[in-house]
Amino acid sequence: MERKYIIFAAAVIGVYVFMKFLSPVCSPFIFAFLIAGLLNRLTKKLPVKVKKSFFAGVILLMALVAILILLWLIGGVIFRKGGELAEQFSGCGTQLGGLLGNCCDFMESSFGIDAKAMETYVLEQVNIFVENMEVDILPAIMNKSVSYARNAAVAASFFVVMIIAVFLILKDYERIMETLKKDRGFHGVREVAGGVIHYLKTYLKAQVTILLIISALCSGTLAVLKIKGGIVYGLVTGFMDTLPFIGTGIMLMPLAFLRLLDRNYFQAGAIVCLYAVCALLREFLEPKLIGSRVGIWPVGILFSVFAGVKLFGIFGIVKGPIGLVILCETGKYLFRTKEEPC
């Protein structure tokens, strides 16, 4: 029994080390192996015999085209709404100037303060703020842009390596699986890996379900509010909600601000309420849809996401739950517990 506890403690340390240091290197090959397994299964179900490499190429090309179309839609929505926001801001200068003049006149008539002097002082402070922003904030934005460009290059290399690995693994997939099945030393690893694969399938199904619900909710609400292009905007908002730490706010809050500038307070308030409902829906549905199907308490999934983000950064939102599933499956294998929630 003591030996099992030592093995489990080693598994905890191993999961942490893997997630912290090795996952960036191994991730493209792990995803490639999962995709190769899926493509291998799909190839067997085809009514006609097709070369695996050709079938994989067609599927991956279709996926790439779908991603490019989605990015084109997202880019179109962002640029269009960004243009509207810029137009609104261009008219704000005159409105704010008039508002400032009215306020200064009111202060002069009520308290005897020189309106001209006050207006000059406020404009000087605004100019100082703008100059400070140019000195401090703009270089920070440029540094962030370099960081984003570097991350984009890393993401591109990830996908290139993954696609190449898919073709190479698919070619020898049957032999790899036969070798793993024959080796008794991999029995425990296969059980744990089976639990992790089940979690990943459940996670993807949950994300698709939440995406469809939030897309339908946003599209329907924006259409009812008679927002121009509301249906497409709602669909893009639903997709953005699936991205870690981005969510619906990046789409809905600027839209609410635009409506506020138009003095359409009802639409602005309704969009803010929509954002709150979407955020609550995700927080409620995700642990329920994932935890109940993989044998883990919903609060366990929530804790693993929180701990993952604290330990591993933004990608901890995925690494945390996967690490928890690995430890739960390892515990079940070592201690032969019944299928009870972790």
pLDDT tens digits along 253-300: 888 887 877 778 899 899 999 999 998 998 888 877 877 666 777 788
Which pLDDT score, from 0 to 100, does residue 98 have? 63
Which pLDDT score, from 0 to 100, does residue 212 have? 92
Which pLDDT score, from 0 to 100, does residue 146 have? 67
More confident residue, 233 or 130: 233
At 341, is the pLDDT very low, low, confident or very high (cuts 50, 70, 90)? low
DSSP state of 46: S
Which pLDDT score, from 0 to 100, does residue 137 have? 60
The predicted model gives 209-222 an average pLDDT of 92
- Tokens 């635009």, residue located: 258
More confident residue, 164 or 58: 164
What CA–CA distance (Å, rounded) separates 323 from 6? Answer: 18
* CB neighbour list of residue 213: distance below 8 Å, 6 or more residues apart: 281, 285
Distance (Å) of CA 96 to CA 99, 102, 122, 149, 256: 5, 10, 12, 36, 20
Which pLDDT score, from 0 to 100, does residue 97 have? 60
The predicted model gives 217-242 an average pLDDT of 87
What CA–CA distance (Å, rounded) separates 77 from 219? Answer: 14
Q: H-helix or E-strand containing 191?
A: helix 187-224
State yes or no: pLDDT of 177 exceeds 80.
yes
The predicted model gives 72-91 an average pLDDT of 64
Contact 196, 236 (CB under 8 A): no
The predicted model gives 159-175 an average pLDDT of 87
State yes or no: pLDDT of 92 exceeds 80.
no
pTM of the model: 0.66
Which pLDDT score, from 0 to 100, does residue 76 have? 73
- Top mean pLDDT of 8-12, 111-115, 175-179 is at 8-12
- pLDDT, tens only, 14-56: 999 999 999 888 989 988 888 888 888 888 887 777 777 777 7
Q: What is the mean pLDDT of the chain?
A: 79
- pLDDT, tens only, 115-145: 777 777 777 777 776 666 556 665 665 666 6
